[in-house]
A = this chain, B = another copy of it.
């Protein structure tokens, strides 16, 4: 019988104690642990987080480029999926590690689009999201009572979706604010929300930084691993 299987696990936002018990078990049981990196040799932050549970002999890096040429990306994902399929077909238990939670804006899901078409055994294990960790570390709710919340990525710049979220939700999580801090600062000011946000960088690590000053968004280069929470009730 082929014990080969493919498992995607979320390693959370940055603290190695925020992995789940199940993820730790799968990392111990795995034959191969795939660590995504942006380009060859660039390293994997997911691996940095999980490394104390990982036998480095099992690690295989896999490149997932970060750019906007969809054809190029698809070719790469497809060949990555083929590699995984080969390993699993050969009886390997393959664990793919991903930052945060695998269901929230993760590269892992693009890979699944290819693997779902095979007959491989696939399992996904959730992880702690950056926004839950941010709110926890400040002892504040993401949402309470009859409030709702929305999560929107800032892809290139401020768009209608973000405006709508700010207009209609008491709580808005903005992912990847690094893509256009200036435009974001402008819209927060226009909506009178310049004192209703917090930006957190490297949540869950010992380099975590919290910023509530709108001038930072206007003037500084926001680091890549940053998230913003906007709370209209101002409890930040």
Task: List A residues at the B interface (Cβ < 8 Å).
Answer: 10, 12, 15-22, 24-25, 101-106, 109-110, 112, 116, 122-129, 132-133, 135-137, 139-153, 155, 161, 164-165, 168-169
21 contacts between A and B (CB under 8 A): A16-B21, A17-B20, A18-B126, A20-B21, A21-B24, A101-B136, A102-B136, A103-B143, A105-B144, A105-B145, A106-B144, A109-B140, A116-B139, A126-B128, A126-B129, A146-B155, A147-B153, A148-B150, A150-B169, A161-B168, A164-B164
Q: Name the residue on B nearest A156 (C-beta).
A: B146
Q: Which of B21, B106, B139 contacts A21 (CB 8 A)?
A: B21
List residues of chain B with CB within 8 A of the CB of A142.
101, 103-104
List residues of chain B with CB within 8 A of the CB of A22.
15, 17-18
Instruction: Tell me the dominant secondary structure on chain A's binding face.
Output: mixed
CB atoms of A153 and B148 under 8 A apart? yes
List residues of chain B with CB within 8 A of the CB of A165.
148, 150, 168
Give Cα A135 to B152, complex, Å: 18
Q: Name the residue on B nearest A101 (C-beta).
A: B132
Chain B nearest Cβ from A107, distance in angstroms: 9
CB atoms of A25 and B20 under 8 A apart? no
Chain B nearest Cβ from A173, distance in angstroms: 9
CB atoms of A104 and B150 under 8 A apart? no
